[in-house]
Amino acid sequence: MRDVGVRRVVFISSGAIYGDQAVQPVTEDAIPNPQSPYAVSKLAAEYYVRTIGALYGIETVSLRVFNVYGPGQQMPPVHAPVIPNFLRQASLNGTLVLSGDGNQTRDYVYINDIVNAMVTAATAPGANQAIINVGSGKDISVRELVHLVLEVTGGKPEIVYSPRNERGPARLCADLTLARQTINYQPLTSLKEGLSLTLERDPRLRQK
């Protein structure tokens, strides 16, 4: 990139680097508390990208993306992402497994909003070396997510609570103040609308 004259690199980091935080929604100046190897790798990569960019004269922006979802999302057989897994299980009247009491919350953001943020961050003036949260700015519990999934799919799956608690923070929500100020970011897709679009545009979620 240095040799061909790339002006700016936009790196996709993760809201997972925050881990447990006492203050929510979480701002970019919160001290990172990564609780998984994945989160550690994202935090380390932020430092690599920022440092190499400064050394070689390349502008950099790191977007801390929260729980992104949308059609075409990968669904590995183990630890499948919650939204496509729930949509598929509900559509086929399968089983929804909720970890712990289901009251843990996450900030789910539709893929189109993330793409818009990436495109804007590539050219926004004054964003060099910025680290910016990108989410919906709203968190929702797993229990509430289940209700929306049932409403969108019309399914009647079995709902099972697993006593094994999910590893991760009890609550996580993005503060979008800096995103609005720096890249004029405003999420446009509500969670219910995003769930409907994901179900409509991803035929895998309705196939047995």
Token output for 142: 């797993």
Tell me, yes or no, if 56 is annotated catalytic.
no
178: left (phi over 0), alpha (psi -120 to 50) or beta: alpha
Q: Which of 18, 38, 108, 110 is catalytic?
A: 38
CA 51 to CA 33: how far, in whole Å?
21
**Closest by Cα among 196, 205, 190, 200 to 87:** 205
Angle at 84 between CA 185 and CA 157, to 5 degrees: 130
Distances (CA, A) of 127 to 27, 31, 74, 113: 16, 21, 31, 18
Cis peptide before 187 (omega within 30 of 0): no
CA distance 59 to 52: 10
Question: Annotated catalytic sites, by residue?
Answer: 38
